[in-house]
Amino acid sequence: MMNAILFRCGLIGILFLGGPGQTAPTAQEILERADRNAVAGSRIAVSEMIIHGRRDSRSISAKSWVQGEDKSFTEYLAPAREKGIKMLKLGDQLWTYSPDTDRTISISGHMLRQSVMGSDLSYEDMMEDHSLVDLYHAEVAGEEIVLDRPCWILSLTSKGGDVAYASRKIWVDKERYVLLKEERYAKSGKLLKRLEVKSVVRIQNRWIQNSLVFKDALKTGQGTEFKIQTIEFDATIPDYIFSKASLRK
Amino acid sequence: MIRFLLKGILRDRSRSLFPFLIVAAGVFLTVAFFCYIKGAETDFVRYGANLSYGHVKVMTWAYQKEADQVPNDLALTGLSGLVAELRRTYPDMEWAPRITFGGLLDVPDEKGETKFQGPAAGLGVDLLTPSSREPERLELRKALVRGRLPAAHGEILLSDEMALKLKVLPGEKTTLIGTTMAGSMAMKNFTVTGTVRFGIQAMDRTALIADLADVQAALDMDDAAAQILGFFADGIYRQDPADAAVRRFNARTQDPNDDFRPVMQTLKEEAGMGYMLNAMTSMAAIIVFVYLLAMALVLWNAGLIGTLRRHGEFGLRLAIGEDKGHVYRTMIYESLMIGVLGSIVGTVLGLALSYFLQAKGIDFSGMLKNITLMMPTVLRARVTPMSYVIGFVPGILATLIGSAIAGRRIYRRQTAQLFKELET
């Protein structure tokens, strides 16, 4: 699921090069290309989440199985307290299983706004599975260099549906169409979340943001770091993985 | 002369009955309201201290700043050392670590799937140590509606209202879903052993009470607690010793830049408590003043009527040579006697009602159905030593003031006119 977080944030890029002499794409085209890069088939990944709290930092690692936009299954591997906790997302439903209680609980309603494992990410952030182009109007707000890469700055405004953030600002790599920075705003214009990519690597002919910091602007602390340790694309994932029964296994 | 005047008052009731009744009624109301406010104040402080605030409270500086959000990630750590230090430094006080927390209570069906789920306002207190006074402070035995108190780890009490809503019976298993000190999701199974009703709307809706050690385990708060409450051994809150304890504790050498340094505060420093306590004290003073004023006006008016009615009597007394000052003074003495008699009767009646309210109370929970403020729904009066004398202030002062003002007419009488007046 942690890895799914990276994907839901639109943080996987497939190498995508625009040819020389092409005219500058429109905001809509940039967003569509960034969206297309965000999700790719199936993947199995082991990732690490380092939560920098006000008091100390702690690390949580997890293995995720992801199929498209709708299905994901995560098992937490460490630390000992979190080991064995599992999460299953099927469409707009989310369940969590705790081995200590041997209970499977559906996460819904206001629980979706709670922090995932104490990180700066909420379950609602995890549940985002629609492409940005479906939810937001886009316009180019400028250009900027991020991570030594020229980027377009897109200003996204909600089309009015049920979205967690009324507006967003995203920085998209001009060549790779990889999202390198993002800010998420409330309807009032207040900054709620900030995301900064720290490094991008190329794996299996895809550009992947393998390290990023996600920060809840309303929380104190230094934010949450996400790091991908291993990732395998287009892996075969048995169907039973994405079932409630697999939570108890 | 006193005996003479007293006979006059008792035998000529038309002269004394109305002022007497006014004084008695005013004093009765003053005493009853004073006791009622004292009862409300005592209940308010007792409930506040026992349920939430203690007489003093220790927490981290960071927690104190955001206390309304119940931020357990900012809780006190190194709890056992800190409690030992407090017990050593303040041997006359009792110290009780507590954890307040929010979460969801999930009730499973036979397959282990969620059947019902509802929000819970949790409180972790020391329920299982035999010497712990926490069950007594929370009046858990009195509040118990069904089942029994927790006797082992993994057992909890639920508010009766919540148990009914979630259809949980004593003996059934539930799962608490909360947030650990580190912010992760926490899940722990508990067996409900009983249900409680406190008569406090905010608690009666969603209260979940568990042993401190269980809550520490569930929320990953090893040797940590949100707060340590301090209580004076006799259970009565006193501002000066509380202030002294706070000054001493906060003067300890600590790093002022450490957000997690322990700090202490008094009950009065709790949000809203100081204001409420001051307001209640002011209200008692205002009630006494208002009755004093109202009775003085009524008695002044009664005195004027009496003076008019006794116009002939005063004229005769002046005509036969009685000094105006003497007539005025006897009138004042009379009013003093009426004031004393009225105050005694009013105080006796007021105390009788107050003692009744002290024992029985008035249940107004029906009026607070939609109020979430943590306050007792059964208000009781409290009779204090002051209750015995508080009524004499307005009772005697009002009659004296009323008569003194009305009696001034005596000095306006012209001796030369007296016989003419008497002839007519």
> For every residue of chain B, which 3-state class applies, written as one string?
CHHHHHHHHHHCHHHHHHHHHHHHHHHHHHHHHHHHHHHHHHHHHHHHHHHHHCCEEEEEHHHHHCHHHCCHHHCEECHHHHHHHHHHHCCCEEEEEEEEEEEEEEEECCCCCEEEEEEEEEEEECCCCCCCCHHHHCCHHHHEEEECCCCCCCEEEEEHHHHHHCCCCCCCEEEEEEECCCCCEEEEEEEEEEEECCCCHHHHHHEEEEEHHHHHHHCCCCCEECEEEEEECCCCCCHHHHHHHHHHHHCCCCCCCCCCCEEEEEHHHCCCHHHHHHHHHHHHHHHHHHHHHHHHHHHHHHHHHHHHHCHHHHHHHHHCCCCHHHHHHHHHHHHHHHHHHHHHHHHHHHHHHHHHHHHHCEECHHHHCCCCCCCCCEECCCCCHHHHHHCHHHHHHHHHHHHHHHHHHHHHCCHHHHHHHHHC
**Res B74 pLDDT > 70:** yes
What integer best gives the mean pLDDT of chain B? Answer: 85
- On chain B, the residues whose CB falls within 8 A of the CB of A104 are 112-113
B184 and A81 within 8 Å at the Cβ level: the answer is yes
Domain assignment present for residue B398? The answer is yes
Strand, coil or helix: A4: helix
User: Is residue B289 in some structural domain?
Assistant: yes
pLDDT confidence of residue B229: 97
Percent of chain B with pLDDT over 70: 88
Contacts of residue A119 in chain B, CB cutoff 8 Å? 183
Place of tokens 């329920």: B127
pLDDT band (50, 70, 90) for residue B334: confident
User: What length is written for chain B?
Assistant: 424
CB of B114 less than 8 A from some CB of A: yes
Do B31 and B9 fall within a single domain? yes
Gap between the Cα atoms of A50 and A119, Å rounded: 8
The answer to whether residues B72 and B24 belong to one domain is no
Percent of chain A with pLDDT over 70: 88
Residue-level pLDDT at A3: 47
Would you say residue B265 lies in a domain?
A: no
| Dihedral sign computed on CA atoms, order B366, B368, B372, B376 | negative
- Domain endpoint, select from B202, B234, B266: B234
B341 lies in which domain range?
2-46+276-423
Q: In total, how many domains does chain B have?
A: 2
Q: Is A110 helix (H, G, I), strand (E, B) or coil?
A: helix
> Is residue B104 located within the same domain as residue B22?
no
**Whether residue B170 is found in the same domain as residue B192:** yes
Q: Are both B151 and B188 inside the same structural domain?
A: yes
Ramachandran angles phi, psi of B111, nearest 5° = -90, 0
Average pLDDT over residues B13-26: 78
pLDDT at B371 over 60: no
Q: Give the percent of chain B with pLDDT over 90.
A: 39
pLDDT of residue B16: 72
Q: Is residue B253 part of a domain?
A: no
Best residue in B187, B221, B258 for a mutation probing chain A (most A CBs within 10 Å): B187
Domain-embedded: residue B111: yes
B window 251-310, beta carbon within 8 A of A: 259-260
DSSP A23: P
Q: What is the mean pLDDT of residues B375-389?
A: 79
Q: How far is residue B175 CA from its own chain's centroid? A: 37
Task: Using CB atoms, pick whichever of A54, A55, A105 lies closest to residue B177.
Answer: A105
Interchain proximity B183–A106, CB inside 8 Å: no
Question: Which pLDDT score, from 0 to 100, does residue B6 have?
Answer: 66
Instruction: Give the type of residue at B280.
Output: M
At residue A190, what are phi and psi to the nearest 5 degrees?
-75, 135
- B108 neighbourhood in chain A, CB within 8 Å: 103
Interchain contact A129–B (C-beta under 8 A):
no
B308 and B230 housed in the same domain: no
* Best mean pLDDT range from A46-60, A112-126, B144-158, B308-322: B144-158
**Whole-angstrom distance, CA of residue B413 vs CA of residue A245:** 106
Q: Does residue B228 share a domain with residue B83?
A: yes
CA-to-CA separations, B397 to B77, B332, B393, in angstroms, rounded: 59, 11, 6
Residue whose entry in the numeric block shows the structure tokens 């009015």: A160
What residue type is assigned to position A100 of the chain?
D
Residues B177 and B127 in one domain: yes
Mark which of B211, B234, B257 sits at the end of a domain.
B234
CB contact under 8 A, B179 and A101: no
Which of A152 and B280 is assigned the larger pLDDT?
A152
Are B71 and B35 within one domain? no
Residue A125 has pLDDT above 50, yes or no: yes
- Partner A, chain B 29-88, Cβ-Cβ below 8 Å: 62, 73-74
Q: Structure tokens of B339? A: 């004031």
Would the CB atoms of B74 and A54 count as touching at under 8 Å? yes
Which pLDDT belongs to residue B380? Answer: 79
Quick: pLDDT tens for A208-222.
Answer: 889 999 999 988 778
Best mutation site among A2, A57, A103 for testing chain B: the one with the most B CBs within 10 Å?
A: A103
B423 has a pLDDT exceeding 70 = no
Would residue B132 count as lying in a domain? yes
pLDDT class of B4 with cuts at 50, 70, 90: low
Query: Which residues on A lie below 8 Å from B220 (Cβ)?
Result: 81
pLDDT in tens, A155-176: 999 988 778 899 999 999 999 8
Residues B201 and B75 in one domain: yes
Q: What is the pLDDT of residue A12?
A: 35
- Of B200, B234, B268, the domain-final residue: B234
Give me chain A's average pLDDT, please.
Answer: 83
Tell me the C-alpha distance between B8 and B327, whole Å: 14
Span A186-196, pLDDT tens digits = 999 999 999 99
Nearest by CB to residue A103, choosing from B175, B183, B184, is B175
Quote the CA–CA distance of B131 and B146 in Å, as a whole number: 24
B244 touches chain A (CB under 8 A): no
A222 touches chain B (CB under 8 A): no
Residue B418 has pLDDT above 70, yes or no: no
Q: Tell me, yes or no, whether B199 lies in a domain.
A: yes
pLDDT score of A201 more than 80: yes
Tell me, yes or no, whether B252 lies in a domain: no
Check: CB of residue B313 under 8 Å from CB of residue B385: no
Q: Do A96 and B112 touch (CB under 8 A)?
A: no
Question: Residues B169, B282: one domain?
Answer: no
Q: Does one domain contain both B90 and B181?
A: yes
pLDDT for A18:
34
To the nearest whole Å, the CA of B185 is away from the closest chain A CA by 6
Per-residue pLDDT tens digits for A8-48: 444 433 333 333 445 678 998 998 888 877 666 788 999 99
pLDDT for the residue numbered A116: 83
